[in-house]
Structure 1
């Protein structure tokens, strides 16, 4: 199964109760994570690099270096911006005077055309003389869907402060509801069973819950990009033969940690009852649950 490149954009805003984030509910008809509350996002398409001509703030080389990529990091950011506009109706762009867009900007009438693929983000930027300030996005994380689901994604997570002059609205197709919640509220809703949240969403919310303002949050994110995340098959031993573990497999993270050179010296399976030293003085012993 192919693992699709994807991008997600976490939108945050300050309120009297502290920072809140935007969550969208996926349609119950979705093949992947039906009914789950997620951040705006989706697949990176072949047209994203055309948007680089309308991007400002950071060059692809700098963005890609931060994301531990050879090139194309800016395309992930542009995909996140595009998907956020399609799914949530909020576009992180500025006009020719450098002003953020408001809810009455005419580009909002082209939202559906962008969703249907009749227009690209680059074409919209050209039509309305807009630019995308990529320096306003912070790189937040990297998640790969583990084996098992009908679709798998290699997803980069970004975060940005929502422009004050635009209002969020779900698209009614891929997303059927939207809500602004504090990270703590969203996590409590998940624990109580009121909302379905995936593991990447939960992990991201736990990071965001540590901050009292969007300024502090964005300052931290820009200063502390996540560590590079292995996303290629890793060699390991299974029945005395070398096999390749896919990202997300049960023993994948352990194999990468214990065999960083990829020599194929670790086991491909988590074996109950077999002790494995995962760090100095730390032994992992799995029960036969």
Structure 2
């Protein structure tokens, strides 16, 4: 049981870019289908080769297209996204990126009819997309010349995700859903996207299909799977009252570094010990794993009767340690724990012992461990080591923020 190294000095925070993604839906023979694009293989692209929904970064010039948006203004868009202003930028970016990457244009003619690209020559469509790729200013001129209005009102806000800390590039992304425009065919641009498929969500998720799915695409496909039709999904999205921000974190599991979603047991602990995503958190516990939860606390996990249990070594400035052991009855287990200690173990504590007494404090050197009726409180970290169920915590103290249980990960009190 070699303890994991102390967390390194955090790297500088990476800038976060705003982005928008459009999940395009249609009804196929078996029900709802979603448009999936395969990104081109590119060195340095964290999504290289992945199957994604059309989308990309918000451009400051997207604001120029507010005047060409149909039936929705910036105030309404901002309210829907929970922003003070500039919410319509995300709608515009989603529409613009969808046309650039997938060749689907959500727009209306001057008389209100949907733009029908299928009636145009391939060369004309290619020229339109090339103009769009020049930026929002060029798209604005194009819309003005043709009398087009962007059909922003056809988009329904669906999800809000933030790339985990520690990733090379981070995006604060708003996801929208919309029904595929009639009289138009999806056409990857051949540079950013090289292939497209219309798939049932379950088919896209099927490992046998072999799609490379990023965490967010996988989770959104799982959300889409229950809907029988595109209209049902769109109605659901329009009825959502609050859309929470979802920010996964990164941690080490059996297969290496991976995304950990908020509902997973390790999520809160990872945020506490590795807020910048440097990769020294764990999302799976294992027999023999010893890891620092802070410079003062080392957790040692071991298998006891087919159950993984935790013991904790708590120390301070003098490098004298207290061992908190849920089950002190196994001498071999105790020896393994003592061997994991970074320094001499002066105190051996258990929830089964009557000594030390309630209210007493153990001075560890720069920090104190207070004895409570149902646990031991590391006062400086507001961390309570508990030895029983936490279903109805009532510890008789107010200054507890974290719980260290006899099995599993740290919990918020």
SS at 2:28's partner residue?
coil
CA change 1:267–1:32 in 2 (3 A) is closer
Structure 2 match to 1:203? 219
Structure 2 match to 1:178? 196
Q: CA RMSD in A?
A: 3.1
Q: 1:5-58: per-residue Cα shift (whole Å, max 9, x none)?
A: 000000011122111111111111152211000000000001111110001222
CA change 1:286–1:209 in 2 (3 A) is same
Structure 2 match to 1:240? none
- 1:8 is aligned, of 10, 15, 21, to 21
Structure 1 match to 2:10? none
Residues 162 and 173 of structure 2 are in contact (CA less than 8 Å); yes or no, is this contact kept in structure 1? Answer: yes
TM-superposed CA distance for 1:136, in Å, is 0.9
Structure 2 residue 61 is the aligned partner of structure 1 residue 47:
yes
TM-superposed CA distance for 1:142, in Å, is 0.7
Measure the CA separation in 2 of the matches of 1:87 and 1:230. 25
TM-score, scaled relative to structure 1: 0.80
TM-superposed CA distance for 1:135, in Å, is 1.8
SS at 1:61's partner residue?
helix
Greater percentage in helix:
1
TM-superposed CA distance for 1:147, in Å, is 2.3
SS at 1:153's partner residue?
strand
CA change 1:130–1:172 in 2 (3 A) is same
- Count of aligned pairs: 261
TM-superposed CA distance for 1:71, in Å, is 1.0
Runs of 5+ unmatched residues, structure 2: 1-13, 252-259, 275-280, 282-292, 294-298, 300-309, 313-384, 394-402
Residues 11 and 160 of structure 1 are in contact (CA less than 8 Å); yes or no, is this contact kept in structure 2? Answer: yes
TM-superposed CA distance for 1:192, in Å, is 3.2
Measure the CA separation in 2 of the matches of 1:230 and 1:23. 22
Q: 1:240-282: per-residue Cα shift (whole Å, max 9, x none)?
A: xxxxxxx84669969xxxx9xxxxxx944564547799x9559
TM-superposed CA distance for 1:230, in Å, is 7.4
Q: 1:127-170: per-residue Cα shift (whole Å, max 9, x none)?
A: 21111122210101011111233211111100100112000010
Measure the CA separation in 2 of the matches of 1:139 and 1:9. 9
Measure the CA separation in 1 of the matches of 2:209 and 2:166. 23
- 1:130 is aligned, of 148, 154, 162, to 148
Structure 2 match to 1:17? 30
TM-score, scaled relative to structure 2: 0.57
Structure 2 residue 245 is the aligned partner of structure 1 residue 229:
yes
Comparing 197-206 with 117-126, which one deviates more in the overlay?
117-126
Structure 2 residue 217 is the aligned partner of structure 1 residue 217:
no
- 2:107 is aligned, of 76, 81, 93, to 93
CA change 1:116–1:50 in 2 (3 A) is closer
Measure the CA separation in 2 of the matches of 1:118 and 1:155. 19
CA change 1:162–1:252 in 2 (3 A) is closer
Measure the CA separation in 2 of the matches of 1:181 and 1:169. 15
Aligned 1:79-158 pairs, distance under 5 A: 79-103=93-117, 104-105=119-120, 106=124, 109-117=127-135, 120-158=138-176
CA change 1:72–1:249 in 2 (3 A) is farther
Greater percentage in strand:
2
SS at 2:60's partner residue?
coil
Measure the CA separation in 1 of the matches of 2:200 and 2:170. 28
Measure the CA separation in 1 of the matches of 2:221 and 2:409. 30
